[in-house]
Structure 1
Amino acid sequence: MKATVSWQQALTFTGQTESGFSQTLDGNGEALSPMETVLLAVGACSSIDVVDILKKRRLTVTDCQCELDAERAAEPPRVFTKIHAHYKVIGENLKEKDVDRAVALSADKYCSVMLMLKGNVEITTSYSIETV
């Protein structure tokens, strides 16, 4: 995997991946900050796992949202110290044991972003289920 980050102006940069996607990043609040992208990556990576695991069990998932709450160190470097991910999973006939297992498997085995942060960031998870 390769990527290039190019300075645009002030503290604004454009990140370009080898797959052709790009994202504007900024240190002044004009676009996503690098730390915001890491937080979003935690939610996206783990949500992909949760949905994929449930679908592989032939369960009907109609929506999945991951609400993230993070704390950062007060002094530089202002790394994440804690991240809590709460999954709102909506679907048909979803059982608590299935969603619990999907969230646990993501956090403990499959989510490369969470696992990359493990040991440096306290990561906790929770979930709620809505049936349609």
Structure 2
Amino acid sequence: MSDKITTIWNGNMLFESDNPSGHTVLMDISKENGGNSSGLRPKAMMLSSLAGCSGLDVVSVLDKMKASVEGFYMTVEGELTDEHPKYYHTVTVEYHFTGKDLNESKIKKAVDLSVEKYCGVMEMFRQFADVKTSIHYHNK
């Protein structure tokens, strides 16, 4: 199986990229670096892809386990190398769950399955970065 995308230059530093789903995303850089901040920054978008991949896994597994949460969000932070080509050498993923009577064991299992087995983007990141994860429970 393969995915194919097309990315088109829209002038200055702005690019538009499609996705096999048919949706598009704009990519740009900051004004300080010659862009217009009209889109997502490519490296930061990688962090979003990591969160999206793992988040989809977690929600799917929690649904199958009949474990409900009121809210779920992730923060992902990447530390770049100092030298070019700059890439993320360390990535921290924090999983935050809110709700009443959270089933912490099921939530932990869902996160662990994503981190250790299902999330292909997580595995790609492990090829070049130290990936650290943590789970935070916010019981109401």
Give 1:91 shift: 3.2
8 Å contact 1:60–1:92 — kept in the other structure? no
Extract unaligned runs of 5+ from structure 2: 30-34
Secondary structure of 1:104's counterpart equals helix
Partner of 1:32: 40
Task: Report the counterpart of residue 24 of structure 2 in structure 1.
Answer: 22
Give the Cα separation in 2 of the matches to 1:122 and 1:59: 30
3-state SS of the aligned residue for 1:9? Answer: coil
| Bigger share in strand | 1
Which one of 116, 120, 123 corresponds to residue 115 of structure 1? 123
TM-superposed deviation, 1:87: 0.7
**Aligned equivalent of 1:71, options 76, 79, 99:** 79
TM-score w.r.t. the length of structure 2 is: 0.87
- CA drift of 1:62 comes to 2.1
Determine helix, strand or coil for the equivalent of 1:61.
Answer: coil
State whether residues 55 and 61 of structure 1, in contact with CA within 8 Å, keep that contact through their aligned partners in structure 2. no
Q: Determine if contact 1:63/1:89 at 8 Å carries over to the other structure.
A: yes
CA offset at residue 118 of structure 1?
A: 1.3
The residue type paired with residue 22 of structure 2 is G
Give the CA deviation at 1:131: 3.3
8 Å Cα contact 1:92-1:131 kept in structure 2:
yes
Q: Which amino acid aligns with 2:8?
A: S
Cα-Cα RMSD: 1.4
- Aligned equivalent of 2:51: 43
Cα distance in structure 2, aligned partners of 1:19 and 1:95: 34
Query: Which TM-score applies when normalising by structure 1?
Result: 0.92
Q: How many residues align?
A: 132
Unaligned segments of structure 1, at least 5 residues: none
